[in-house]
Structure 1
Amino acid sequence: MKTLEGDFTASNARIAVVATRFNDYIVNALVGGAEDVLRRHGVADEALTLIRAPGAWEMPLVVDRAAASGQYDGIVALGCVIRGGTPHFDYVAGECAKGLGQVMQQRSLPVAFGVLTTDTIEQAIERAGTKAGNKGAEAAMSLLEMISLLRQL
């Protein structure tokens, strides 16, 4: 049986990292993790573009515009939404996830989901490079694998 699966050799890929400014003390750590992974896997500096969106609510539109530009082989979406005492979290996190999924499907372009949705700031810190690893780095790895896989299809 023929098996197709991606690897991490998308060194000639053009990649946008779309990161939110909201909760930037967490998001900047995610960006650093993604950037490190992409560079270690051979993605050149000139092939990387960092785009800042105000927050997770606005991120799907920014990602859609980047995808529509035809300039990128994939997009890493990085942000952080921390639950508060109101239902605001549910709306923002849910619409962000739904919107990013729609962009990926409609534009047929891989969008790696690196948006933290946590209950506490401590959980966010853990996922931005301490106990639970760096979810920005993990999203970048996923993107490289998807770019490689889609090139085979």
Structure 2
Amino acid sequence: MAIELIEGDTNPGKVKIGIVASRWNSMITDKMLEGALNALKGNGIAENDITVVRCPGSYEIPLTVQKLLEHREVSGVVALGVVIRGGTPHFEYVCDAVNRGITDLILKHNKPISFGVLTTDDVKQALERAGDKGNKGGEAALALLEMISMEQNLIS
């Protein structure tokens, strides 16, 4: 008996994609959003099949993703934001809340949500991850496409 291997790729066919991007630290999240849009369009996703929703900050991402999933027909969502460590425990609280919120939504709605929320020690690290040394927004978009494709292959 042979091992069955089920994988996805970045070409899931005709799908609708949601993107939630925070405006806080927009000099970083705007680059990540651009990277995500370029990755999606570069893999055959039409502009009219992409919905972008901007929210104030990373803490608001889970609720915004939930509203998007409830009110728009999307195959999955890319969540984009950035939390930069400061001198208070605020960093840990926000990171934990966003991570837990996204995880809960994946399981509740049974749809893939890619986690493109940067958690960095400083602005320099965030800028590097938003374009100077790769674009985590683009990587998150590709991961979402692969998850959608994998799911299609799994259930077909």
Alignment TM class, shorter chain as reference: over 0.9
4+ residue runs of structure 1 moved beyond 6 angstroms?
A: none
Query: Using the alignment, how far apart are the partners of 1:76 and 1:28 within structure 2?
Result: 14
Query: Using the alignment, how far apart are the partners of 2:71 and 2:6 within structure 1?
Result: 28
Check conservation: 1:10, 1:43, Cα contact below 8 A: no
1:137 matched residue in structure 2 = 138
1:113 matched residue in structure 2 = 115
* Structure 1 residue matching 2:117: 3-state secondary structure: strand
Q: State the aligned residue count.
A: 152
1:34 matched residue in structure 2 = 36
1:98 matched residue in structure 2 = 100
Offset, 1:65: 1.4
Query: Using the alignment, how far apart are the partners of 1:68 and 1:151 within structure 2?
Result: 21
2:125 matched residue in structure 1 = 123
Identity %: 45
* Structure 2 residue matching 1:50: 3-state secondary structure: strand
Gaps of 5+ in 1: none
Please give the residue correspondences for 1:1-153 in structure 2 after superposition, counting only pairs within 5 Å. Answer: 1-69=3-71, 71-131=73-133, 133-153=134-154
Gaps of 5+ in 2: none
Offset, 1:76: 0.2
The residue type paired with residue 130 of structure 2 is: A
Query: Using the alignment, how far apart are the partners of 2:64 and 2:140 within structure 1?
Result: 18
State the TM-score, normalizing by the size of structure 1: 0.96
The residue type paired with residue 116 of structure 2 is: G
C-alpha RMSD of the superposition: 0.9
Query: Using the alignment, how far apart are the partners of 2:110 and 2:139 within structure 1?
Result: 21
* Structure 2 residue matching 1:58: 3-state secondary structure: helix
